[in-house]
Amino acid sequence: MNYGIVSQEQLEQIDRILTDKLIKLGVDCVIVIDMAGNIITAKDNGRNKYDVYSFAALAAGNFATVDAMAKLVGEEEFSLLFHKGQESSIHFSKIDEELLLISMFGQEISLGFLRLNVVDAIEKIKKLWPKSA
């Protein structure tokens, strides 16, 4: 699979989808990463600053671990993860075999509403993503 380079135009479109669908909704930070822990793109609301590079490395590891757990219980995959905290929570969702979408958000957003928007954003990103070469 060759996803190593994405054109500027594609990235801008992805950024626009993330901003429209998630940042405008009130999500603090949204990151698209690959399973190797690289950041494809990161958007935030300008108020919260996270160490996104370390975050990506840990998130990829976390997802891979959960994937291995899924196989152990006979599931093909657990395609989404949710970690709930007091002030902020994290939602992970698989875009495809190589990509993950991670949203960090506060108490003011309901999980259900976020999930609807994540699903919508993922559908749109999938259409843009270059198919394997």
Partner 1 sequence: MSFINLKEKVVQVKIVYYGPGRCGKTTNLEYINRTYRNQIVSEMVSLKTHGDRTLFFDFLPFNMGKIKGYDIKIQLYTVPGQVKYNATRKLVLRGVDGIVFVADAMAKQREKNIRSLNQLHENLLSYKESIFRIPLVMQYNKIDLKEHGIPILPTEVLQKDLNSRLNAPYFEASAVTGYNVAATLKKIIASTIISIQKKLF
Enumerate binding residues for partner 1 (CB under 8 A). Answer: 3-8, 11-12, 34-41, 51, 53-54, 57-58, 60-61, 64-65, 68
Contact between 32 and 100 under an 8 Å Cβ cutoff? The reply is: yes
| Nearest CB to partner 1, comparing residues 35 and 80 | 35
Q: In the bound complex, what is the minimum distance in angstroms from residue 114's beta carbon to partner 1?
A: 26
Contact between 95 and 60 under an 8 Å Cβ cutoff? The reply is: no
Q: In the bound complex, what is the minimum distance in angstroms from residue 53's beta carbon to partner 1?
A: 4
Alpha carbons 14 and 41: distance in angstroms, whole number = 8
| Nearest CB to partner 1, comparing residues 3 and 129 | 3
Alpha carbons 110 and 15: distance in angstroms, whole number = 22
Q: In the bound complex, what is the minimum distance in angstroms from residue 2's beta carbon to partner 1?
A: 8
Q: In the bound complex, what is the minimum distance in angstroms from residue 13's beta carbon to partner 1?
A: 11
Contact between 21 and 121 under an 8 Å Cβ cutoff? The reply is: yes
Tokens (6 digits) for 5: 């380079």
| Nearest CB to partner 1, comparing residues 115 and 129 | 129
Contact between 28 and 109 under an 8 Å Cβ cutoff? The reply is: no
| Nearest CB to partner 1, comparing residues 6 and 115 | 6
